[in-house]
A and B are shown apart, each in its own frame.
Chain A
Amino acid sequence: MKIFTTLNPKNISNIYLITDDDQKYGVIIDPGSLSMNVYKLIRFTGAEIRKIIITHNGINQTAGIPLLNKIYKPEIFAYNETILDLPATKVKNGFVIKEGDMEFKIMETPVHTYDSISVFIENSLFVGDVLQAGALSSLDKKNVPTNFELNVIKKYFLSLPENTIIYPGKGPATTLEIEKKFNPYFQRIVNG
């Protein structure tokens, strides 16, 4: 598996392209645009885009879908059954999306929005807007995570291997080890 990152220039959010080792097939997570840098990245890898995974139904995650759909006709996976009026395969906790020898395991993580999901593959976790390095999102308008949200993180993220790399929808990557040590909300969970 190979992971490529590029930026959506409109809102500076991350777009991830995951390919198999031979870069034959690709899965895009949160195509918030299909700007030239995204298109160039796809061309650079040579991968055929087979699937799209949406971590939640927001314009920053979905705006590139119509154009990708015209070019590649990828299958769309999301918590919702339609994305931008296109049919999507609804995913739930434990759902596994297979592409070649890659397996993307879905976790329902309703922290940023009620339809937020996270995607785990090998030792990599794609969390959309659920967290940024050192911070945690919230459904609450004040953006202060509730006990319910902290429990979601505890249940799904803290049980993952320590060497898990976390790829957020915005900002730099991080690791579970770094978050446990320096993210104030993770510290709150770890310390009870």
Chain B
Amino acid sequence: MIFSKCKKDDCSKKAVYLSNYCFEHSQDKDDLIKKIYTFVDKNKTLIGFNFSYIPFNNFNFSTKDISFSFFSYCQFENSNFRETRIVSSFLDFANLDDTDFTSSNIKFSVFGGASIQNGIFKDSNVNFSNFLGVNLRNANFNNSDLGYSRFINAITQNTSFFNCNLKKTVFENTVFDEKSLKSSNSQDAIIINCTAIDCNIKDYIL
């Protein structure tokens, strides 16, 4: 979990794993990507690695145990995170479109600024996590524990939080529709300046 700085002068980014440079300044990117794929594929437990900006599209992370790691600005389109444990990790500004997190266990992790269109988080624990400004169009969080997570300025069009634990979950400037929070304890959530389409926002707050 020791991150060295990119060796390129004036670059403040962390060096990516298996390189002395950040991904942008690494020389043979194709070779680096191949080596990283092999490493990630072989290891079930990933603790303290920086993989920021690496494309992981269609990659299988299912059942892996990931902690204290950086995946900022990574591409994860159509990747599989089913039953994955993710703790204290950063997936900020990542592209997670069509990604499946079903039955995952996520804590203290940062997804701020990510695109998670068609993302599936059903039957998961997603606690103390940062979803600021995420694009969650057509996402599914049904039957999940979202306690203490923060969805501020998130786009939640056609996103369902059916039957979720929303204790201290923060929604601010979020748009809900009739089915968004059905059967969830929305009275325990913190709902600020949100709007509702085809339903009464007070039904969720009171």
Contact = CB atoms under 8 A, between A and B. Distances in A.
B114 to A, nearest CB: 10
Interface in A80-133: 123, 132-133
A100 to B, nearest CB: 14
Interface in B79-118: 88, 90, 92-93, 108-110, 112-113
B130 A174 contact: yes
Interface residues on B, range: 20 to 34
B13 A178 contact: no
A134 B2 contact: no
B148 interface: yes
A165 to B, nearest CB: 8
A181 B3 CA distance: 25
Interface in A1-59: 1-2, 5, 7, 12, 21
Nearest to A165: B90
13 contacts: A2-B1, A12-B148, A133-B112, A134-B132, A134-B150, A163-B14, A171-B128, A172-B108, A172-B109, A172-B129, A178-B92, A181-B113, A183-B152
Interface of B: 1-2, 12-14, 88, 90, 92-93, 108-110, 112-113, 128-130, 132-133, 148-150, 152-153, 168, 170, 172-173
A173 B12 CA distance: 20
B133 A182 contact: yes
A179 B153 CA distance: 11
A174 B13 contact: no
A182 B132 contact: yes
A174 to B, nearest CB: 5
Contact of B132 (A12, A161, A183): A183
Contacts of B149: 172
B113 A182 contact: yes
Q: Which 9 A-B pairs have the closest CB atoms?
A: A134-B152, A182-B133, A178-B112, A172-B130, A182-B132, A182-B153, A133-B130, A134-B132, A172-B128
Contact of A5 (B88, B92, B148, B172): B88
Contacts of B150: 132-134, 171-172
Given A21-B2, A184-B153, 8 more contacts: A134-B153, A172-B109, A172-B130, A172-B148, A172-B149, A175-B92, A182-B113, A182-B153
A134 B170 contact: yes
A75 interface: no
Contacts of A161: 12
A132 B110 CA distance: 13
